[in-house]
Copies of this chain bind each other. A is one copy, B any other.
C-alpha cells in the first residue's frame, strides 16, 4: 500500500528516498469490509484515505467540523489513513508535499468546476451520461442508487434514463 502511495506521489513531484521513508511514518493502514463505515455523518472527519484516490469529507477534515457525509466501503478495501495533525506536520516536514497537494487539489478543482457546471446546467440525462462517460468502470461496479445520489437525482429517474438509453 505505501509503495502505491509513494509511486503516486512521484508521478507528480520529486520525492527523495529519505523523504519517502519519513512519509511512511505519517500514515497507518486500515482494512474495511463491505458496508463498514469510515466516517458517519455527525462525526468529525479525522482521516484521509487513498485508493488511487484521496477521500474524505474535506470540509470536516480541514475545518474540524461535523461531517455532512457518510463514507462507507462499497467493496472490501485497504486504506491508508492520515490524521489531520499528521497531514499538517507532513507538509511542514516535507515541503515538497505542499507541491504534491497543490497539484492534486488543482486537478481536483478542475474536476469539481466541471461537475458544478454540469450540475447547474444539465438535464438528468446529461448528468447521467457525463458520469458514465467519465467513469465507466465505476458506473459498472456500484449500485445505481449511489450514482443517483452522486448526481443529485432520484433512483427512479436514473432507472428511467437507463431504460430510455437502452432503446436508442
- A99 CB–B CB distance under 8 Å: yes
Contact of A116 among B91, B102, B116 (CB under 8 A): B116
- Which residues of chain A from 147 to 168 have any CB-CB distance to chain B below 8 Å in the complex? 151-152
Cα separation A134 to B162 with both chains bound (whole Å): 37
Closest to A68 in B: B117
Q: How far is the CA of A21 from the CA of B107 in the complex (A)?
A: 29
Q: Is the CB of A109 within 8 A of B110?
A: no
A144 within 8 A of B: no
What's the minimum C-beta distance from A27 to chain B, rounded to whole angstroms? 18
A112-B105 in contact (CB<8A): no
A59-B113, A113-B112, A119-B152 known; A106 vs B105 contact (CB < 8 Å): yes
Known: A119-B152, A152-B121. A108 touches B110 (CB 8 A): no
Chain A residues engaging chain B, CB cutoff 8 angstroms: 58-59, 62-63, 68, 91, 95, 98-99, 101-102, 105-110, 112-117, 119-121, 151-152
